[in-house]
Amino acid sequence: MLGAVAQVDPSAVSDPERFRRDVAESCEPAVLRGACSDWPALEAAQQSWNALVGYLAQFDNGVPAQAFIGDSETAGRYFYRDDFDGFNFAREDLRVTEALERIGKAHGKTASQVALRWLVQQGIMIIPGSGTPARQKENFDVLDFSLTPAEMTEIAGLKRPNSRVVNPPQHPDWDV
């Protein structure tokens, strides 16, 4: 039988030492109800996924990441062509939003749905908010397609070492 989940004051996330003491050190599940309630990203997400993508896109610093673009046959395994005359992929410099939009277009999905599907295919549980029936349907519509291994690798490759894909200003100092 599972124990109770601790209810932690959301202000604990704003102080690194308090977060370590009240949340991290116990290594137990905790609920920080309302910790994100004033975040602009949440407000945008409550409007629509497209509003959230628009909000996050403003943090795209415009510096392209090099994306490896390959056919689905590459299965995310980038290598030399069989005849060793070049590679089985192309290199393109794309901003994060451009990469997600390009992949979404191939599936008839939004960039937001592509980002959610990428998480789902990695086994990461997602709990997107949904304020309207249309948004609820949009959330479920990430379950009716799959990203190819090449697309999964392309998205993963957009992340820079020791950084986030986006870095909103309201993130806690300890979360870097």
The amino acid occupying position 119 is: L
Token code pair at residue 140: 């479920």
Token code pair at residue 105: 């277009």
Query: Over the chain, what is the mean pLDDT?
Result: 75
pLDDT tens digits for range 25-47? 877 777 777 777 777 877 877 78
- Evaluate whether 145 touches 109 at the Cβ level (below 8 Å): yes
Reply yes or no on whether the pLDDT at 1 is more than 50.
no
Kindly state the DSSP code that residue 163 receives in the 8-state scheme.
Answer: S
pLDDT tens digits for range 114-137? 888 887 887 776 767 667 787 777
The whole-number pLDDT of residue 124 equals 73
Q: Beta strands of the chain (E only): which ranges?
A: 6-7, 30-31, 65-69, 90-94
Where residue 58 falls among pLDDT bands split at 50, 70, 90?
confident
Where residue 161 falls among pLDDT bands split at 50, 70, 90?
low
The whole-number pLDDT of residue 95 equals 78
Token code pair at residue 126: 């997602």
Handedness of CA 25, 27, 29, 34 (dihedral sign): positive
The whole-number pLDDT of residue 176 equals 47
The whole-number pLDDT of residue 174 equals 52
- Evaluate whether 139 touches 161 at the Cβ level (below 8 Å): no
- Evaluate whether 159 touches 63 at the Cβ level (below 8 Å): no
Domain residue extents for the chain: 1-35, 39-156
Kindly state the DSSP code that residue 45 receives in the 8-state scheme.
Answer: H
CA-atom Rg of the chain in angstroms: 19
